[in-house]
Amino acid sequence: MSEAGKHDTVERCVKAARGCRLCADRLPLGPRPVIRARASARILIVGQAPGTRVHETGIPWNDASGRRLREWLNLSEDKFYDDHHIAIVPAGLCYPGKGKSGDLPPIPECAPLWHGRLRPLLTDIRLTLLIGQYAQSYYLGKTRKKTLTETVQAWRDYQPEYLPLPHPSPRNTAWLRNNDWFETQVVPMLRIRVSEILDSENINES
């Protein structure tokens, strides 16, 4: 371990991540890493990568996908964006650009670099939400199923540490309609877990 690694803290890591320019030459809008985390966080949200609106504002999940995600979690904006309780660290910290059928995948070097450095420092995390195939691929590795649908259906296999979720993008409305078990079975369980984790934290702080 390097000297920086030996003395790393969540605050130092987040500051370093926000200043990262490693992939600047591959980012069409330039680097603007979007990340929120504090050592006290109990829930970690790992999505794909910022979209253009998030890039413009610097606020994660500041779009239609975020509204749906907050509905799934049954959280207000204030609670969702309270980084003392919830860390938000996408698989790719910067907007990667537009592809033929939507945004490009996250820059592949990003997750090993920043999740590899930050995640060991987040020692109070009780639940990690893995939103979309890139987050699931990085964290679940060979235990991930052949498809995203199969991985989400097998959510019990990854409890209590992880919960794989589909992306809440409006593009996935058809998937949600065709897989109504997700909103009738998984979302209620998700709301209970999130409520229990955050309520227990409030009790411990009182």
Asked if the structure places residue 205 within a domain, the reply is: no
Asked if the structure places residue 81 within a domain, the reply is: yes
Higher pLDDT, 70 or 203: 70
CA 112/CA 82 separation, integer angstroms: 25
Asked if the structure places residue 204 within a domain, the reply is: no
Asked if the structure places residue 11 within a domain, the reply is: yes
pLDDT of amino acid 87? 98
Note the pLDDT tens digit of each residue in 163-196.
999 999 999 999 999 999 999 999 999 999 999 9
Note the pLDDT tens digit of each residue in 11-33.
999 999 999 999 999 999 999 99
- What tokens does 187 get? 């979302």
Split into its structural domains, the chain has a count of: 1
The domain of 149 spans 3-199
CA 26/CA 141 separation, integer angstroms: 26
pLDDT of amino acid 3? 39
Side-chain-side CA neighbours of 17 within 13 Å: the count stands at 30
Write the CATH number for 91: 3.40.470.10
pLDDT classification of 201: cutoffs 50, 70, 90: low
3-state secondary structure the chain: CCHHHHCCCHHHHHHHHHCCCCCHHHCCCCCCCCCECCCCCCEEEECCCCCHHHHHHCCCCCCHHHHHHHHHHCCCHHHHCCCCCEEECCCCCCCCCEECCEECCCCCCHHHHHHHHHHHHCCCCCEEEEECHHHHHHHHHHHCCCCHHHHHHCHHHHCCCEEEECCCCHHHHHHHHHCCHHHHHHHHHHHHHHHHHHHHHHHHHC
* Cβ(156)–Cβ(72) below 8 Å: no
pLDDT classification of 101: cutoffs 50, 70, 90: confident
Asked if the structure places residue 206 within a domain, the reply is: no
pLDDT classification of 7: cutoffs 50, 70, 90: low
Of residues 71, 196, 38, the one with CA closest to residue 126: 196
pLDDT of amino acid 25? 95
Share of the chain above pLDDT 90, in %: 90
pLDDT of amino acid 59? 97
Asked if the structure places residue 168 within a domain, the reply is: yes
Asked if the structure places residue 117 within a domain, the reply is: yes
> Residue 2 above 80 pLDDT?
no
- What tokens does 188 get? 């209620």
CA 173, 174, 179: angle at the middle one, nearest 5? 100
Note the pLDDT tens digit of each residue in 26-81.
999 999 999 999 999 999 999 999 999 999 999 999 999 999 999 999 999 999 99
Residue written as tokens 């078990």? 181
pLDDT of amino acid 200? 78
